[in-house]
Amino acid sequence: MKCHNHRDTEAVGACSKCGRNVCAKCSRAIQRQIICNECIKTEQNTYFRLKTSKLPCALLGWLGALNTLLTGTYITTTYLNLTIISPREYLPAHAYAIGLTTAILTMMLTYGSYLQLKRHGYLGAEINIIAGALFLAIFVYFRWLSQPPFLAWLGLMGYFLPAPALLSGIIDILLREKQSQQAQRLWKHC
C-alpha cells in the first residue's frame, strides 16, 4: 500500500476522513485516528469560519445605522426649524454639523456591518462599537445638555437607540474570541 501523494513511500494507513492512503509525512494522528494534511487544512479552514451566522450581527449594525440616521434627521430638522424662529440664538451651521456627523456615523455603521458580514476580522465590530459610542454621546448631549433638550421626550427608552450598534460589535467580538479559543484547542490536538 503506497501513499497517495508519494508513490514511492509506504503508507501508514488510510485517512479516516477521505479514505486516501497516506504516509507519515502526509498525515497526523489525532485522537487515535489518522487524518491526512489536506483534510486537516480543510477542517481548519471551515473551523475558522464562525459556526454561527454573521447575519445577526450585521443586521444589528444596520439597525443601529437606521436609528442613527432617523435620530440625526429629527435633530437636524428640529434645529433648522429653530433657526427660522430664532436666527440669532440658533445657527444653521450647527444643524448642518449635526446632520454631517450623523451621516458619517450612519456610513460607519453601514460599512462596519458590511465588514462583519464579510468576516473581515475585528475591524467591522470595532467600527460599530466606536460609532455606537459616539451615537450614545450625541444622544446624551441632546437629551440632557442641549437647550432646549431635543430628545427629552424619548425618556429612558432613548438609550436603547444606540444599543443595536454597540451590541453588534460586542457580540461579534465575543463570538470571535470563542472561536479563537476553540481553534487553539484544535491546534493542540494536531
pLDDT of residue 50: 46
Of 49-63, 113-127, 139-153, the range with the lowest mean pLDDT is 49-63
Residue 117's contacts (CB-CB under 8 Å, 6 or more residues apart) are 54, 55, 57, 58, 124
**Average pLDDT along the chain:** 85
Yes or no: say if 64 and 128 are a contact pair by the CB < 8 Å rule: yes
| b/e code 38-66 from CB counts within 10 Å (16+ = b) | bbbeeeeeeeeeeeeebeebbbbbbbbbb
The three cell numbers locating residue 61: 449594525
Nearest to 120 by CA among 164, 81, 176, 158: 176
pLDDT of residue 116: 87
Mean pLDDT of 146-170: 89
Mean pLDDT of 105-113: 94
Mean pLDDT of 120-149: 89
pLDDT band at 46 (very low <50, low <70, confident <90, very high): low
The ranges assigned to domains in the chain are 1-48, 55-182
* 167, pLDDT greater than 60: yes
pLDDT band at 44 (very low <50, low <70, confident <90, very high): low
Yes or no: say if 183 and 45 are a contact pair by the CB < 8 Å rule: no
CA distance 11 to 28: 12
pLDDT of residue 136: 94
Q: What is the CA radius of gyration of the chain?
A: 27
